[in-house]
Amino acid sequence: MTPVMTKVEKPSKLSVNDLIEDRDLSRGDLKLIFEVAQRVKASPGSFARALEGRQLAMIFEKPSLRTRAAFEVGMTSMGGSAVYLDHTKPRLGEREPIKDVARCLERWVHGIVARTFAHSAVKELAEHASIPVINALTDLFHPCQVLGDFFTLREKFGSLEGLKLAYVGDGNNVCHSLLVTGARLGVSVSVSTPPGFEPKAEIVDAATSISRETGATIQTVRDPVKAVAGSSAVYTDVWASMGQEYAAHLRKQVFATYQVTETLMAAAEPYAVFMHCLPAHRGQEVTSAVIDSPRSMIFDQAENRLHVQKALLLLLLQNGSV
């Protein structure tokens, strides 16, 4: 028997059948995801059988702690089950066509979570599978992470409208998702990267276009202090993402002046928080003093990944409103 759940405000259903990239989510979608995540977090027992009989396939080409654990725990804690498919070797599409994988999985499970190198691999899964597909990280976007991040900021500040988030470091997939989702939520995003490591121009343009509708400001600057000035949150990520380990030594030299220190945090608002998607390389992109300080929200972010991903599973796998 599925538990009775209080209805959320309209809309009560996502406008998409898959979560492939942040650009797919409307402002209403984001509001709904946060509302459901808040309810799940407040009363997890109310959802203990919400996904009973549902199965999730998890395809991972890259290592994972938070994303994998949160999806597996999320499914099992709501009565469903998850199967982990290790595609580190061979990668998705090497042993058999991706469309064949999609067509097989849709006969066995109710949803697919995929962490891949190529963004096109997740898009192809969604194109050929009749069941929901969720992007668990690609080289272009990391929507699940950033949904958890903005849910965390919403908890901290009560509202997201008018906040400024500064991102310092590599213009990678997390940076792309922060730009797009931040703009959609009315959060101004300022990005500071070394020359040659900027976020993709098409993503900056997309975020800028969205920001015109929400009143947010999108800015890319070279100087980290300028980016951080007036910000409510300072965010960074590893200098060499998964698959870029070969360039880690060179990147340490290039990014040396982009480290988040107590001095850099002092350029933000006095109440500003520190954020990181983890795993963190202490002493590289951020000092231990910052990451262990009272301003750090990294473990709140990690916890909220579970609640947000449970909300996504409920909204996409239940075939109806939550």
> What is the set of active-site residues?
115, 142, 145, 237, 277, 305
Backbone angles phi, psi at 164, to 5 degrees: -120, 130
Distance (Å) of CA 205 to CA 23, 179, 181, 235, 322: 12, 10, 13, 21, 34
Token pair in block for residue 209: 């276009």
Q: Is the peptide bond before 63 cis (omega within 30 degrees of 0)?
A: no
Closest CA to 236 of 288, 275, 199: 275
What are the tokens at 199? 């976020």
User: Can you tell me the distance from the alpha carbon of 208 to that of 159, in angstroms, rounded to the nearest whole number?
Assistant: 21
Enumerate the β-bridge partners of residue 275. Answer: 235
Question: 3-state DSSP call for residue 166?
Answer: strand
Phi, psi values for residue 144, rounded to 5° = -60, -40
CA distance 275 to 272: 10
